[in-house]
Amino acid sequence: MVTPSTTDPIFQPLTINGLTLKNGVVRSSLGGRVDYYDGSMSDALIAWDRHFARGGVSAIISSNAGIRTDGIAVPGYASIDDDRTIPSWRALVGEVHKYDCRYIIQLHFSGRLRRHWTTRSASMACWSR
């Protein structure tokens, strides 16, 4: 097994448009419905992202975060469509910042072509026009 050197470029600080990252390791958005259908965030998401931050990534890009309830693509992802969601986002960002990790929220709006999900069943969905 080859041990990477801390002098490798990937482990050097990286500045993108004024934002300096401690290294070039960025975790991209991951899918996985671990949050609640009402758009609130679960402790599981916070623990998951904390795990990556503790592991040394310099930044995490969130899964899609809906900005309006009428434009959420898929239920089960934390949204940022109401002030009630701010405390959980602050808690998440606070956790990853403990490890000098930046957090990039991927804002999302599906618009008129989104799927309309029903709350009667987690697996039931229908197209609506």
Task: Decide if 128 is inside a domain.
Answer: no
Task: Decide if 79 is inside a domain.
Answer: yes
Domain count, the chain: 1
Mean pLDDT check: name the lowest of 21-30, 44-53, 105-114.
Answer: 105-114
Q: Which amino acid is at 106?
A: Q
Task: Decide if 18 is inside a domain.
Answer: no
User: What predicted TM-score, i.e. pTM, was given to this entire model?
Assistant: 0.81
Q: Is the pLDDT of residue 118 over 90?
A: no
Task: Decide if 13 is inside a domain.
Answer: no
CA distance 77 to 57: 22
Task: Decide if 74 is inside a domain.
Answer: yes
Task: Decide if 94 is inside a domain.
Answer: yes
CA distance 15 to 21: 6
Task: Decide if 90 is inside a domain.
Answer: yes
Kindly indicate the confidence band of residue 111, based on its pLDDT and cuts at 50, 70 and 90: confident
Which structural domain, as residue segments, surrounds residue 96? Answer: 28-110
Asked if 34 contacts 42 with a C-beta cutoff of 8 angstroms, the reply is: yes
From 2, 8, 82, select the one nearest 38 (Cα to Cα).
82
